[in-house]
Structure 1
Amino acid sequence: MSVHVFLSYSRVPDYKYVHRLAAHLSAAGVSVWFDQEIVSGERWVDVIKERLDSCAAFVVVMSPASEASKWVELELNRAEKLGKPIFPLLLEGDVFFRLSNVHYEDVTGGRMPSARYVSRLLNPPTTPVSPVPRPARLRGIPIATLTGHTEWVSSVVFGSDGQTVATGSTDATVRLWDLTDRGRPALTATLTGHTDSVSSVAFSPDGRTLATGSRDATVRLWDVTDRRQPALTATLPDHTHQVLSVAFSPDGRTLATGSRDATVRLWDVTDRRRPALTAALTGHTNVVSSVAFSPDGRTLATGSYDATVRLWDVTDRRRPASTATLPGHTHQVLSVAFSPDGQTLATGSGDKTVRLWDVTDRRRPAVTATLTGHTDSVLTVGFSPDGQTLATGGSYKTVQLWK
């Protein structure tokens, strides 16, 4: 397949890199055009306009020189106006401010882009792409306020029916809410029993069980089949410190729990009344703040205050194995989430950034983008069901949406 791609860059000092880039992309089957192909005697402006208008994708090589280039600015203006798919490459310096909400690939040091990046170039969107509005322009419309907790709300999750929400709080309780009427949500039950803050809540895939993790170092399982009369079915007391994160596997048979004791524990919860510890994952050197299963249930991602993310093969729940350690964040990792197709992992950190990782090869994950824009720690990350949007929440009262 051959795709016409327009390369935008600064001739000085990025010319040599762009020459190598063009050769690399051409070898992969991408039809590339950049200004070296202007024939003597042709009118410069007309040729660039014609090529840009007809391209299927627009690649901009970001560097301090290209950000200062009037030609790059003009080309980028037109590409955005025409809704061309934009594929930025960060060669040097910082991401262009105007592109801070667009995924980019880090090629600092003169690296060539990854196979996944090239694959996206070979299959660009066929319809015009509209720039994503900046979060400040979004106008969410509140339809209801759920009140009752007496302290901070630390965790919120929807049930699989889409009509139930569970909220965990530092007041040591969990509340269940019926959202059948979105304008008039109703409290159906308050779950008590934890002796300290509730840090994390998670519904099982079938929506019949709720897991709650607490700073009291326990995890509790609740039968919430009857939303008005939930019943405690089991308490998991094995951690030696606060439990900060809980997650069910896609088949609902395994629960993963992350703790301040720097371990992750896997539990067989097939029998909700007799859960059994199957494995303790060690290797992190600090608090495990977030755990997430891949959509196929074969991989577990764990984020830690030791500034790393680890991937684990949990195909055999009794003999899980570490497959990779993802370094790069310069501060604690606070949240991890897989994309719906399982090929991308998003990680949020106290270093104010979000990183996207290509985890197609679980043993050789590669960072594909670093998202900047938050002014404080990124506390939570989550993909939309179609995988096209990432939401990131910061500690400075902001949520950002990324295309």
Structure 2
Amino acid sequence: MAAEDRPAKQPRLDPEAEAANVIIQLESAEGQQAGPALDVPHSVTPQQLEVLLNGLLQNEEKTPYSFYVEGQELSGELGEHLKKQKVSVEQSLRIVYMPQAVFRVRPVARCTASMPGHAESVLAVAFSPDGRRLASGSGDTTLRLWDLSTQLPQHECKGHRNWVLCVSWSPDATMIATGDMNGDIWLWEAATGKPLGQCKGHSKWITSLAWEPAHKALPSRRFVSGSRDCTLRVWDANTRRCIYSLGTHTMVVTCVRWGGEGLIYSSSRDTSINVWDAAEGKLVRSLKGHGHWVNTLALSTEHVLRTGAHDHTGKAPKDPQEGMQVAQQRYDAVVKGQPERLVSGSDDHTMFLWTPAASKSHIARMTGHVQLINQVTFSPDGRWVLSASFDKSIKLWDGVKGTFVATFRNHVGPVFQVAWSSDSRLFVSGSKDSTLKVWDVRTRKMMVDLPGHADEVFAVDWSPDGSGVASGGKDKMLKLWRH
């Protein structure tokens, strides 16, 4: 082609011109450009773009990526995608890339164990940060620890005198904190199930528990509790003493989270979200915007805060110093130099996305649910947010911008809880309709329907090592689900 025939500017894309090239600019979700604009053929595939991008970023180890054009994932040839989505290209086409987990979690497909033992409803289930053990709290006032290799009960922990509402593992997997309906908190040794002691101070039931992250302190020592008595308390797990009490909420504290930047977050029925300095217990700022009770909070870093120094295989350094460094590296890899994001869900059917360390103004108001929001949770990579609602649906949102992505409908009752697989590709939901369902984020479809419980499913968790899902509910049965 002679120089004079060559167009000076990239022409508007003609869907029929299959042989024409298209100029693309690869960018990260944060807007950082990867190299110069590139002239690529229409037939370019995500696999070829991945090879190209790994070269541009000079990645020593090949990283898998997914690619998005105007929010839609590219699944085949670029030209076909542009035609199908009716995207016209004036100058250059912006393609956003997202790193994917190097490992893959297989969807759970069957119940491998139904574990009786609890005499009342199972109200909380939680896998340990290394994925090797499981803890369950119940209305029968006990905490039970289960051996996942034999699928048998390991320890029955007695001490509470009322329903066990919250179960929280320390990030180093050595201790478990439990909170009950009387306002009592117990600490247990994870290896033996022996009681380490009681934390007394709250006068009404415990709504939420959260530990200080591993990159801030190892071995784990401090944790925070929220209660219906309108206060938060920060405790020393070694002495079981209250270090300080935080009391500016005027109504029930519904949820507490301990962030990775030295901040503690609390939500309340007084419609506010408070941000506290974890070192001194001072109020940093109050986030306002919700018109009704705030029920639930989630952090963009919650998966890495939960697992600490443990990788997706459950391995972690034995030395606390090295463990803190590994936990810090894992944390840094998720935040990528950006401030931690917080999402809140409310009885007013809305959600807000915040960056509390940077501003008291919200990034986005997220609307769409038509009944109250039970739970919100970020994907392990911080890319997505899920919300579970009484309106029987689950909604998927962009975790950076707060924009709506998709609705997942198949449950015929309120959705109580959702849990992500550690590779951020799948999630599982538990509902009042007695079923669990496994969903695929990329296809936006249900993969597996898991009936089996005889009644409402209150609690569900996906093991951090990806090996399986645990669920519990009104039928007093704990079930394990595997591939």
TM-score, normalised to structure 2's length?
Answer: 0.52
Q: Which residue of 2 aligns with 1:282?
A: 247
Give the C-alpha shift of residue 311 in structure 1.
0.3
Q: Which residue of 1 aligns with 2:340?
A: 343
Give the C-alpha shift of residue 329 in structure 1.
1.4
Q: What letter is aligned with 2:283? A: S
In 2: Cα distance, 1:378 partner to 1:53 partner = 43
Q: Which residue of 1 aligns with 2:263?
A: 299
Q: Which residue of 1 aligns with 2:350?
A: 353
In 2: Cα distance, 1:53 partner to 1:160 partner = 45
Q: Are 1:310 and 2:274 matched, yes or no? A: yes
Report if aligned partners of 2:204, 2:227 keep a CA contact under 8 Å in 1. Answer: yes
Q: Are 1:265 and 2:233 matched, yes or no? A: yes
Give the C-alpha shift of residue 398 in structure 1.
4.8
Q: Are 1:333 and 2:294 matched, yes or no? A: yes
- For residues 326-370 of structure 1, the C-alpha deviation after alignment (integer angstroms, 9 at most, x for no partner) is 111122111112112352001121222222112241xx2331223
Compared CA separation, residues 328 and 150, structure 1 to 2 (3 A) = farther
Q: Which residue of 1 aligns with 2:203?
A: 240
1:373-388 alignment, distance < 5 Å: 373-388=368-383
Q: Are 1:84 and 2:69 matched, yes or no? A: yes
Q: Specify the SS of the correspondent of 2:208.
A: strand
Report if aligned partners of 1:295, 1:338 keep a CA contact under 8 Å in 2. Answer: no
Q: Which residue of 1 aligns with 2:189?
A: 223
Say what the alpha-carbon RMSD is for the aligned residues: 3.4
Aligned length: 281
Larger proportion of strand: 2
Report if aligned partners of 1:347, 1:355 keep a CA contact under 8 Å in 2. Answer: yes
In 1: Cα distance, 2:119 partner to 2:147 partner = 19
Q: Which residue of 2 aligns with 1:256?
A: 224
Q: What letter is aligned with 1:306? A: D
Compared CA separation, residues 327 and 359, structure 1 to 2 (3 A) = same
Q: What letter is aligned with 2:386? A: A
Q: Specify the SS of the correspondent of 1:265.
A: strand
Give the C-alpha shift of residue 307 in structure 1.
1.2
In 1: Cα distance, 2:117 partner to 2:391 partner = 24
Select the residue among 275, 280, 284 that pairs with 1:323.
284
Compared CA separation, residues 376 and 172, structure 1 to 2 (3 A) = farther
In 2: Cα distance, 1:221 partner to 1:187 partner = 19
Select the residue among 118, 134, 158 that pairs with 1:165.
134
Q: Which residue of 2 aligns with 1:125?
A: 96
In 1: Cα distance, 2:123 partner to 2:273 partner = 22
In 2: Cα distance, 1:210 partner to 1:127 partner = 35
In 2: Cα distance, 1:153 partner to 1:393 partner = 19
Q: Which residue of 1 aligns with 2:109?
A: 141
Percent identical: 30
Q: Specify the SS of the correspondent of 1:359.
A: coil
In 2: Cα distance, 1:277 partner to 1:140 partner = 41
Compared CA separation, residues 198 and 45, structure 1 to 2 (3 A) = same
In 2: Cα distance, 1:333 partner to 1:402 partner = 18
Compared CA separation, residues 336 and 127, structure 1 to 2 (3 A) = closer
Select the residue among 158, 181, 189 that pairs with 1:192.
158
- For residues 41-87 of structure 1, the C-alpha deviation after alignment (integer angstroms, 9 at most, x for no partner) is xx99969x99x985768xxxxxxxxxxxxxxxxxxxxxxxx941439
Compared CA separation, residues 343 and 232, structure 1 to 2 (3 A) = same
Larger proportion of helix: 1
- For residues 247-284 of structure 1, the C-alpha deviation after alignment (integer angstroms, 9 at most, x for no partner) is 11112221111111100011122x2xx22211110110
Compared CA separation, residues 140 and 352, structure 1 to 2 (3 A) = farther
In 1: Cα distance, 2:365 partner to 2:188 partner = 38
In 1: Cα distance, 2:247 partner to 2:372 partner = 25
Report if aligned partners of 1:152, 1:171 keep a CA contact under 8 Å in 2. Answer: yes
Compared CA separation, residues 146 and 326, structure 1 to 2 (3 A) = farther
In 2: Cα distance, 1:217 partner to 1:344 partner = 30
Report if aligned partners of 1:83, 1:128 keep a CA contact under 8 Å in 2. Answer: no
Give the C-alpha shift of residue 142 in structure 1.
4.2
Report if aligned partners of 1:56, 1:84 keep a CA contact under 8 Å in 2. Answer: no
Question: Per chain length, whose mean CA-contact separation is higher, i.e. which structure has more relative contact order (CA < 8 Å, sep 6+)?
Answer: 2
Task: Give structure 2 stretches of 5+ with no counterpart.
Answer: 1-10, 28-66, 73-93, 101-106, 302-334, 399-483
